[in-house]
Amino acid sequence: MEQPTNRVFSGVQPTGNLHLGNYLGAIRNFVGLQETHECIYCVVDMHAITVWQDPKELAHNTREVAAAYIAAGVDAEKQVIFNQSKVSAHGELTWVLNCVARMGWLNRMTQFKEKAGKNRENASVGLYDYPVLMAADILAYRATHVPVGDDQKQHLELARDIAQKFNNDFAAFGGEEFFPLPEPLIMGAATRVMSLRDGSKKMSKSDPSDMSRITLTDSADDIAKKIRKARTDPEPLPSELEGLKERAEADNLVGIYAALADMTKEAVLQEHGGSQFSSFKPALAELANEKLSPITGEMARLMEDTAYIDSVLKSGGERADAIAQPILAKVKEIVGFV
């Protein structure tokens, strides 16, 4: 079985409130990789249900993430766009990898600790096992590269550990170097977009405050308002990167500007150093609108045509399944399933 050298896999959860962090940290980078890689982009509905989802909203949000991929510029014909639950290999491989991964490894996962909070006894088993399903997503395609935001780094390291342990445990049975160790691709000036209300918290879908995030369904007015009200400090912008230290909110807005404009933060500061937020914020709002409105407009248009989105997911699911099935069959053979 041939091992590809340039296969990309990534996923986004359909849990609503798709936001600027998801776009700048992940989805935007999905687009550029198509030039050089074979790309498989998944809507991870099985991950979403690790926390209860309203079934109707789950279906809507699944289509919305697919629409975001397409609207951002992923080519649904050349690449594979599908939702996870369509391909049974994800669940089947998770079981095998559950038996490879160690409790001690999962106990170190910071995202589980954050999401489960104080009431850990009441978290779903799925939430605990979430990173193993994520490893299975990637390894089911023997993907080599995984574009993600900074917050997924630890999960990617776990996926590498699981791949390595599988290869070692079954080295004598055809497992040696069977799974490539997937490389994280953490790209751009905004790998960790922070909340607009609190520069110490990352922008997230689950923040109770809608003012904390810019979403991919916000209007131009919403975006302008959220940026205008974003928390900042009273100092003007510095001219050097050094001056953003200890100024998390300023650093965040400069990072967002840089990522949207495809510039470095240094270049943004060269242009805007010395400006007050009263002039930087409107410039940022204008830039955000210019870059996001074609995408949000196209997403809204696509969401009117659910038959088209469903056809993309169906065809993508079939093509994903055709890649994963032989890999899963080989895994079964390696572990000794008759």
In angstroms, the CA 186 to CA 80 distance is 21
What gap in Å lies between CA 260 and CA 257, rounded to an integer?
5
- What's the closest the beta carbon of residue 4 comes to ligand TYM, in angstroms? 16
Q: Which amino acid is at 250?
A: A
Q: Smallest Cα–Cα separation from 134: which of 171, 109, 115, 116? A: 109
Q: Do 18 and 65 meet the contact criterion of CB atoms below 8 Å apart?
A: yes
CB of 90 to ligand TYM, least distance (A): 9
Closest CB to ligand TYM belongs to which residue? 25
Q: Which has the closest alpha carbon to 182: 139, 215, 124, 128?
A: 139
Select which of 165, 205, 225, 330 is catalytic: 205
As measured in angstroms, the least distance from the Cβ of 38 to ligand TYM is 15
Ramachandran category for residue 127: left, alpha or beta (phi over 0 → left; psi -120 to 50 → alpha)? alpha
Q: How far is the CB of 187 from ligand TYM (least distance, A)?
A: 10
- Smallest distance from the beta carbon of 33 to ligand TYM, in angstroms? 13
- The pair phi, psi for residue 227, each rounded to 5°, is -70, -40
What stretch of H or E contains 41? strand 38-43
Q: Between residues 124 and 276, which has the closer beta carbon with respect to ligand TYM? A: 124
Nearest CA-CA partner of 280 in 258, 297, 296:
258
Residue closest to 259 by CA, chosen among 332, 158, 203, 189: 189
Q: Which residues lie near ligand TYM (CB under 6 A)?
A: 9-13, 21-22, 25-26, 44, 47, 134, 137-138, 146, 148-149, 151-152, 155, 191-193, 202-203
Nearer to ligand TYM, 94 or 232 (CB): 94
Q: Taking the complex as a whole, how short is the minimal distance between the CB of residue 338 and ligand TYM, in angstroms?
A: 30
C-beta of 134 vs 254, nearer to ligand TYM: 134
314 is catalytic: no
Contact 148, 157 (CB under 8 A): no
Q: Name which of 207 and 277 has its Cβ closer to ligand TYM.
A: 207
Q: Which is nearer to ligand TYM, 22 or 289 (CB)?
A: 22
Cα angle 226, 228, 231; round to 5: 85
229 noted as active-site residue: no
Between 21 and 238, CB nearer to ligand TYM: 21
User: C-alpha angle 79/155/179, rounded to 5°?
Assistant: 60
* Three-state secondary structure call for residue 319: helix
User: 155, 111 in Cβ contact below 8 A?
Assistant: yes
Q: How far is the CB of 202 from ligand TYM (least distance, A)?
A: 4
List, in sequence order, every beta strand (DSSP E) within 178-322.
183-185
CB nearer ligand TYM, residue 134 or residue 268: 134
Please calculate the CA angle 43-49-51 and round it to the nearest 5 degrees: 125
- Is 330 labeled as catalytic in the residue annotation? no
Rounded Cα distance between 305 and 297, Å, is 13
Residue positions annotated with a catalytic role: 115, 202, 205
